[in-house]
């Protein structure tokens, strides 16, 4: 047991060092640069050089106590920034997966819907114009078929959440509910218990990648906040946020696909473990049988 606890402690320390301290020290360095350069001297590196020379020649620079206090303050600030980035990342995850109930999120959803409908209306108008100008009946028929497929895709991919990440997660829940008539949120903790280890590892890795992208977005917000002191920090924050959102979309798509695959492949195993037998071979009946065995969600 002591060896196990020591191993866990080492792993936690390594994770804390990688995800919090190193990223936090980079942010602290940017904070120092922002504070020294300011808005009016954004790119005057000579000011930094002069300041560092003053520190090196100052008596406090030769004091071990002053150096230790400075290092301790930098580590504490880096740790606090890392915790703040993690908290902002968790908040952004809730925002990405929100259903648009609030006023701001509802406005964002309406904006996405208007943009989506306008984009598809313009595509449909171009397709109709091309059909009228098309002399070859076979080519016109093929173009109309492509337009019909595009309209079907519109109904499938039309925004239902304020963000694209929320749409990806929501679409999986809708498909599984339509396929199995099952509340996946209710069944998932039990389903996790019967999943094989390789699939669990894949799901954990996808979730870790999603959490990491959200934490990176939190760092982007913290970098953007430094624009109050140093305007180039806004460019850094914007770059970090764009990268984080792109990573989060990819991770969410992978996570959603793995969740759907887990339900498709192992819902029967869950039914066997629960000892339920559907009345027919229909997938919806399988989901209903599992849902009846689990019962309604417990009210909070």
Q: Quick: pLDDT tens for 59-110.
A: 555 667 777 888 888 888 888 898 899 999 999 999 998 887 778 888 888 8
Q: Is the pLDDT of residue 14 over 90?
A: no
Q: Which of 175, 116, 178 is nearest to 151 (CA)?
A: 116
pLDDT of the residue at 246 = 95
CB 100 within 8 A of CB 229: no
Q: What is the pLDDT of residues 113-140, one digit of tens each?
A: 888 777 766 665 565 555 545 555 666 5
How many Cα atoms are found within 13 Å in the side-chain-facing hemisphere of 185? 7
Examine the pLDDT at 7 and tell me if it is beyond 80: no
- Residue 287 pLDDT exceeds 50: yes
Predicted confidence (pLDDT) at residue 254 exceeds the cutoff of 60: yes
pLDDT at 5 over 50: no
- pLDDT cut 70: percent of the chain above it: 75
Residue 210 has pLDDT above 90, yes or no: yes
Instruction: Say how far apart CA 196 and CA 132 lie, in whole Å.
Output: 56
Residue 195 pLDDT level (bands cut at 50, 70, 90): very high
pLDDT at 40: 79
Question: 41 versus 227: which is more confidently predicted?
Answer: 227
Q: Which residues contact 250 (CB under 8 A, 6 or more apart)?
A: 209
At 9, list the tokens.
């402690």
* Closest C-alpha to 150, from 119, 105, 175, 173: 119
Give the model's confidence band at 10: pLDDT under 50 very low, under 70 low, under 90 confident, else very high. Answer: very low
pLDDT at 143 over 80: no
pLDDT of residue 3: 41
pLDDT above 90 (res 228) = yes
pLDDT score of 43: 80
Q: Is pLDDT above 70 for 148? A: no
What does the pLDDT read at residue 8? 36
Of the chain, the percentage scoring pLDDT greater than 90 comes to: 29
pLDDT at 59: 55
Confidence (pLDDT) at 235? 94
């Amino acid at each position: 047991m002591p060896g196990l606890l020591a191993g866990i402690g080492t792993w936690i320390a390594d994770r804390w060092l990688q995800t919090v301290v190193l990223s936090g020290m980079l942010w602290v360095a940017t904070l120092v640069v922002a504070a020294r350069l300011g808005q009016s001297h954004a790119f005057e590196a000579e000011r930094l050089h002069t300041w560092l020379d003053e520190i090196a020649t100052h008596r406090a620079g030769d004091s071990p106590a002053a150096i230790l206090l400075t290092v301790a303050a930098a580590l504490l600030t880096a740790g606090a920034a890392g915790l703040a980035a993690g908290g902002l990342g968790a908040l952004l995850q809730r925002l990405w997966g929100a259903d648009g109930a609030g006023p701001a999120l509802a406005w964002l959803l309406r904006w996405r819907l208007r943009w989506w409908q306008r984009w598809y209306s313009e595509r449909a108008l171009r397709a109709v114009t091309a059909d009228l100008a098309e002399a070859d009946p076979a080519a016109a028929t093929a173009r109309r078929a492509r337009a019909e497929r595009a309209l079907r895709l519109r109904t499938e991919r039309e925004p239902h959440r304020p963000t694209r990440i929320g749409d990806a997660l929501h679409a999986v829940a809708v498909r599984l509910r339509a396929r199995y008539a099952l509340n996946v949120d209710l069944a998932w903790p039990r389903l996790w218990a019967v999943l094989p280890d390789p699939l669990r590892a894949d799901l954990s890795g996808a979730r870790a990648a999603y959490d990491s992208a959200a934490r990176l977005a939190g760092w982007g917000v913290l970098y953007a906040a430094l624009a109050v002191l140093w305007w180039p920090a806004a460019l850094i924050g914007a770059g970090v946020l764009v990268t984080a959102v792109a990573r989060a979309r990819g991770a969410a798509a992978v996570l959603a696909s793995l969740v759907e695959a887990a339900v498709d492949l192992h819902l029967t195993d869950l039914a066997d473990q629960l000892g339920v037998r559907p009345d027919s071979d229909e997938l919806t009946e399988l989901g209903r049988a599992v849902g009846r065995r689990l019962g309604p969600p417990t009210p909070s």
